[in-house]
Amino acid sequence: MRMAVSSSEQQTAFSLLERQSLLQGTDDNIKALFANACQAQEYERDKILFLQDDPAEWFYIIASGWIKLFRETMDGHETVLDTLTTGQSFGEIAVLEDDTHTYGACIVEKAVLYRLPISLLKKTVEENHKVALSMLQTMAQHRKRQTHEIESLTLQNASQRIGCFLLRLCDPFTEGETTLQLPYDKSLIAARLGMKSETFSRALNKLKEHTDISVQGAKVIIPSLDAISGYTCSACSNEFPCEDLH
Amino acid sequence: MRMAVSSSEQQTAFSLLERQSLLQGTDDNIKALFANACQAQEYERDKILFLQDDPAEWFYIIASGWIKLFRETMDGHETVLDTLTTGQSFGEIAVLEDDTHTYGACIVEKAVLYRLPISLLKKTVEENHKVALSMLQTMAQHRKRQTHEIESLTLQNASQRIGCFLLRLCDPFTEGETTLQLPYDKSLIAARLGMKSETFSRALNKLKEHTDISVQGAKVIIPSLDAISGYTCSACSNEFPCEDLH
């Protein structure tokens, strides 16, 4: 469903845009160009935004909800490359891939997205040196994240991987309790972490034993980040909070 | 050991440099600037080039030999992020990381490297829009490689992962037999693929049963790429040859 963009939404879009590393340090007129081209959309669960190898018309910034990025293997299995939520963006990499999406994107929890034309981004990166440098920084950030991911898949056990996934959703500067709202479908998180659903359930129970977290449906309550980071981050070369998030 | 750079080595350095995606499409005077700043070095096995968090002075292009990139976890384990050989480069990402190396690099098989100043790369990326765009393409390539890696760790079994590692070292356009020279220390490849040494041995035997490859010490003989790609690539969303390699 396409929504009209009210001026207050335009404001929200602008403030989300400003926080994107892509536009950091760029002139206000470039930011305004992007804010004006920005369209708000609301989507229901299971809507496929695009598939791998689709021509890329838009890239997206998430205002609310959960999205999964995925690919399909030749023997028909799906890999969940990432699950994204509020404030994160996706699809922009297509400007470096002949305007083609290298993964599919699907709504997993009712979402409001801001979409922006790939053509505008491409033109701006090609013409504006500052934006090209910002895009480089954004890519470096993504790269760090992926390096982190490879390390996690190689070295952490299943419980630590769940702990890591949760920690990375927390504000590291919160004192006291943190409550996270996960997607209702836990098998999505299992797939995202490269686990079978049964492994995920067992590992989550183990994590609850080793730390002090509690889980109520899709809600996770973390009384203190110290207990969970102590358990999780020992098997990783990053200290908490992860450098690739900031 | 530092070697003097003869004019023929300068020529080799220049031709290796020209093939780097980083300098593709840039003017000849930029290429000459890099070729002139390039120094050849020869290193023995186990030499540490730099450690994680070291200030970055140089980035490197491999003329021959094997290098591993690694990180250490807080509980003292090592992750092998990558093993690299002839024609590949490393360390250049430091220009986007406050001139700091985000991983360590160590020689695992006697190597000749060409090293280039990070400061020159940084200055050129900042001043030259074309080089910034090339660097973006290089980063996109790395990103594809890492996405591929995450997928492989999530979906392929151990034998398929070894098959994938071998295939990615082959020239996909070769007809007939391919011979690969691996590092002598197989535990390095095991670590690179996130496996214990015992798992690696078992999985390699299984790969030999399922395909027609044979292994003699550090040498792997692959009679046809079809048999190995048929077995390996079915559990992956990339078709052979992998798009991120070309």
**For the range B157-161, what are the long-range contacts, defined as Cβ-Cβ under 8 Å and sequence gap of 24 or more?**
B157/B203, B157/B235, B158/B193, B158/B195, B158/B199, B158/B200, B158/B202, B158/B203, B158/B206, B159/B203, B159/B204, B159/B206, B159/B207, B159/B210, B159/B231, B160/B207, B160/B231, B160/B232, B160/B235, B160/B236, B161/B193, B161/B194, B161/B195, B161/B203
Identify the pLDDT of residue B206: 93
Residues B170-199 have pLDDT tens digits of: 888 888 899 998 887 888 888 888 888 899
Residues A68-126 have pLDDT tens digits of: 999 887 777 788 888 898 888 899 888 888 889 989 999 999 999 999 999 999 999 99
Determine contact, residues A212/A223, Cβ cutoff 8 Å. yes
Give dist(CA B115, CA B129) in Å, integer.
23
Give dist(CA B98, CA A161) in Å, integer.
29
More confident residue, B208 or B4: B208
Mean pLDDT, residues B125-140 taken together: 87
Determine contact, residues B23/B30, Cβ cutoff 8 Å. yes
Nearest to B73 among A73, A103, A236 (CB): A236
Interchain pair B155, A102: CB under 8 A: no
- The ipTM estimated for the assembled molecules is 0.70
Q: What is the pTM of this model?
A: 0.76
Any residues with CB less than 8 A from the CB of A28 and at least 6 apart, and which?
Answer: none
Identify the pLDDT of residue B67: 94
Interchain pair A155, B73: CB under 8 A: yes
For residue B140, list chain A residues with Cβ-Cβ distance below 8 A: 93, 96-97, 139
For residue A82, list chain B residues with Cβ-Cβ distance below 8 A: none
**Weakly modelled stretches of chain A, pLDDT under 70:** 1-10, 13-14, 245-246
Whether B3 has a pLDDT exceeding 60, the answer reads: no
Of A139, A232, A132, A150, give the one whose Cα is nearest residue A194: A150
Residue B52: what residue type? Answer: Q
Interchain pair B74, A147: CB under 8 A: no
For residue A133, list chain B residues with Cβ-Cβ distance below 8 A: 125-126, 132
- Tokens 């699907």 -> residue: A106
For residue B77, list chain A residues with Cβ-Cβ distance below 8 A: 155, 235
Of A123, A204, A112, A222, give the one whose Cα is nearest residue A157: A204
Which of A237, A244, A246 is the best mutation test for B, with the most CBs of B within 10 A?
A237
> Could you tell me how far CA B70 lies from the centroid of its own chain?
12
Q: Say if strands A178-181 and A89-90 run parallel, antiparallel, or are unpaired.
A: unpaired
Q: What is the mean pLDDT of chain B?
A: 86
